Structure 1
Amino acid sequence: MDWANCIICGKDDGTLKCPATRQDDHVNANDLLNNHAKWHLKCQLKFANTKLQRTQERHQRKRNTGQCGDDTGQRKSKRSSLSEESKCINMCIFCKKAEGVLHMCTTLELDTSLREQATEMQDTDLLATIAGGDLVAIKAKYHKHCMDVFRTRYRSMQRARASHTGCTDEKMTESRVFAEMVSFIESSVEEGVYIFRLADLHNMYEHRLAELGHEKAINKTRLKNKLLVHYPDECQEQSDGKSTLLVFSEGLQKLLKEALESRNFEKDALSMAHVAKVIRKEMFDAEFSQFSGSFNHDCQDSAVPNSLKVLVSMLLYGSNIKNQKFCKHTGMSHCMSTNQVQL
């Protein structure tokens, strides 16, 4: 080797640099120092780490974007589904369009919430699009408007579901309270009480609704008409000058006694069959049969259909509205335990 020339290219043209002529604590190659080795600056740059790192990063970016040729060693997929997924990366996961400003999915929380919402709405198109992995890994993108439309659909579905459930529970509760009031009136008539103040019945009705969690104002006239329709021939409306009275005839007492003495077994069986049908329908409803993967703080109460709660409460404490106060305070745990055993 000619140590007077460049040790890299072997030429002596141009300006040569020698580490022996510099004061550098990091130079420790004895051969280079003893022989006064030299090199060109352009030759040194061929081995610079900066250019090597830039080349590697540029090569990696080409591999990720799919612009690199077959010589990159990238393995080709034999499944068409994977190629379709790679196409979805550069388009909106909702509308499947690439026009407009696309936003990247960057958090796993967004991936979790979108999958849960799509599953609840049974959006099979979106579930199939994001089935290739989490949204961050497949670099999923979306339009802000499409995301807003999707979330608006989900909120609308939740409101409709809550409205349907709340309306059903409220109707069931009002029907239960009315049945308890009818039982109270008939028990009182059997004991010889035939006159009832409408104001007392109205207050009793509203108080019982509040105990069951549905506090609302009830129109007195509608409650009165409902009772008169239920007892078309046995009840009359009168007034004592200050308040409205509901007066029952002595014939009602006779009818109740005859109903107890002459039992109609077919009618009883049909009534029990109807009750069982109502409870089974509510038990196997999707709202009670599905499991979301976690237990809420009130899962034990919400998992029991309202109709079954009404039946067990009436079995334990009777159907008289006067006796239902024990169910709320001392007997609620007994009702829940019995309901859970039935389930």
Structure 2
Amino acid sequence: MASERETTIHEHSPETVEHLLRDMLRIRIFDDVALQQFKEGDIPGFLHLCHGHEGSHAGMGAALRDDDWLAVGGSRLHGQYIVKGVPMTEIMAEIYGKATGPNKGKGGSMHLADIDRRLYGHAATIGSGQNPAVGMALGEQMNETGNAVVTTIGDGGTSRGSFHTALVFASVWDLPIVFVIENNGFAISYDTQRNYKIERLSDYGKPLKIPSTSIDGRDPLEVYETVSEALDRARDGGGPTVIEIRVRRIRGHFEGDKEVYRTAEEKQESSEKWDPIVRFRKELLRSEFMSEDEYDAIREEIEAEVRDAVEFAEESPPPNPDVAYEDIYVRPFYGEGE
């Protein structure tokens, strides 16, 4: 069933609330600046922006411990990199294709990974990352680490059989994993709200007796609470959870998307109704958690951080062509040295 829990600013520590705000602003400002650099031709390839997903990303990131894994999926990924602790300088360098990125420019916007920070990168096709994620959860369980895994997927990705295989595996083995479905209304250009037969995507967990819930992704506090509860249960041996986080994709699937699949009125409504930063800012000011001047000061501070990230990326060297032949195999090969 959909969550009916209400959250208020003052139920949480000031440190948690400010942490969520800062991460949401980092994601939005990073993406806004990346978009400008993309338009100027500095960033190669495609660009998929997180507008509308900031509350979801910030909330799940705050719930994770440093040693927990985040196995990213879907297309809106910059925010997930940020909340897992990858510095914005390194993220910007990676999407610029520079040698100072975590993957030496080979991962780019869609496939950045940082194993030291327990960030497992996006697989090559949508909806195929959940099986590696349950493998990681099995490893944590077997080694009795007390760590857990969060793996993310979009609404479109849940139509793939690999996602359902992962649910079965996680259920049978009672794995310490949380499946987060970021339901933003569209599978690229397919309107999932009008065409999917299932009312709530979290219900996919019910036949397997996996605890499941659907929450409002505009509220980072609700996301933080729900994911934290699921992670605590996973660490205590309670097995997996499926969480549908309802958000709305404010921009197109990628920059340059003509968005012929939704009207201008629908797009405007998404921006006005579903922007999590606008909503959270209003709540912060209404509850007198902070003043407008304090909010603006935090925003200006983060804007400076992102400008530094761009400068770092622009001044970084391109990768040596030889790196194309690195990181292909794990050494030693299976059987070597025996």
TM range (shorter): under 0.3
Name the structure with the higher strand share: 2
Flag the structure with larger Rg: 1
What's the TM-score, normalizing by structure 2? 0.22
